[in-house]
Structure 1
């Protein structure tokens, strides 16, 4: 006991205990921490083919090393792509937003310039530069696994986090500075998941720590169900909300009644007698 007590009083005893505590904490964190985003596994041929495509179609804005190109005023022609991951490339290129046809506040969705194979190769090249979010798999996009309760929960999550910009049915909406939240109609489940993971343009990033892959799948399932359901009440007005519906009512409904009243007044019996 005296020998053990003597060792505890050694000047280095505190340092040894601290190091052991750090090792234990590090080991526990490694065991329970979420899996970090890593570059997707790709063949050397895919990476090289993606590099050639990048040098021809992307380097003029993003730089030959994908680190971006700064302007003399401190801005940039294109931001750095180091660390954006394959998911960001797959979203931007797969939806036709990149390459941009002209400078604008926001890149619109259009017909893709690159094929699916070329998009995969570009994503493989960018992913090889630095770890980043991978293209989402079935865990995010397999909507057949979503039950009725899952879709209901997805609707609650969508209304809490997305309707401020995208509208309650994903129809989109205007934003300041000439920007807008695009409609989600016709967007694939994979691209919706990639948008949540990468946060393109002014959209915030919803990492898996904030919204789990299962919850992302439920949100997508809700969006798809809302878009596919019939309009039992007749004309939906684009699903743009009560403001648009009210405008439609006033312009078409009240306006039509005013025109009818004027016509009746101009063609009434008393007018004909005079």
Structure 2
């Protein structure tokens, strides 16, 4: 039994994808750089070896690199103060440093990781399918125009306009704040790329084929505009008819 366990463990260590990724020299070097960055900028809240500090920050064991790429890459971390929701800010780390921090957190456990071929997937994406998936899964919170919207308890779905392809992909994998997790069993990598391509090429574009966008907030601003214009027109029409009579 002992020999069988040793053999099974050895085979897993050799052939498991996660183990192979951690053994690559490039990943080890990036993780070492990320650990140095972590000890300077993150250890105060997340503790030594990313184990977490009560009342300050959670453990990052088994969180995965996707969460790091979203939180740090969008400037939400380091957190300035405790609020209902972390706010997007200009990032304090470069893209390379964000990848290094993500590599360090990846080395501490198993968690979702943003694939390296995201750009290639987005280039070959299906915009029509991406629009359908966005309307089904994302528009309820981020609005049809991607401008975001209010949620409960002081939280909100942020605007999608400044988001890059890797940030969006990382958000779908990690499910930050109130956002659900869209794992590969829910949306395949190709479907995630379709959604990203739709956001970048349709929502984030400056073109408005329907005319003036009224802030892209959806039917609320359109209803207000129609009400104001319609009521004013009816008042003037009533005055004109009364004057003629």
1:137-164 CA distances to partner (integer Å, 9 max, x unpaired)? 3257632212xxx211111111111111
From 135, 138, 141, the equivalent of 1:165 is 141
Secondary structure at 1:142 match in 2: helix
Compared CA separation, residues 118 and 207, structure 1 to 2 (3 A): same
- TM-score, normalised on structure 1? 0.72
Asked if 1:66 is matched to 2:50, the reply is yes
From 21, 30, 52, the equivalent of 2:36 is 52
| Residue 238 of structure 1: aligned partner | 215
Contact 1:169/1:226 (<8 A) preserved: no
- Provide the C-alpha distance between the structure 2 equivalents of 1:236 and 1:206, rounded to a whole number of angstroms: 30
Compared CA separation, residues 55 and 255, structure 1 to 2 (3 A): farther
Contact 2:74/2:91 (<8 A) preserved: yes
The structure whose Rg is larger is 1
| Residue 22 of structure 1: aligned partner | none
Secondary structure at 1:133 match in 2: coil
Contact 1:87/1:136 (<8 A) preserved: no
- Provide the C-alpha distance between the structure 1 equivalents of 2:144 and 2:174, rounded to a whole number of angstroms: 22
Compared CA separation, residues 37 and 256, structure 1 to 2 (3 A): farther
How much has 1:45 moved relative to structure 2? Answer: 3.4
- TM-score, normalised on structure 2? 0.80
| Residue 102 of structure 1: aligned partner | 81
In the alignment of these two chains, the number of paired residues is: 221
Matches within 5 A, 1:1-274: 41=24, 42-70=26-54, 76-139=55-118, 142-146=121-125, 150-227=126-203, 228=205, 230-251=207-228, 253=229
Unaligned runs of 5+ in 2: 1-11
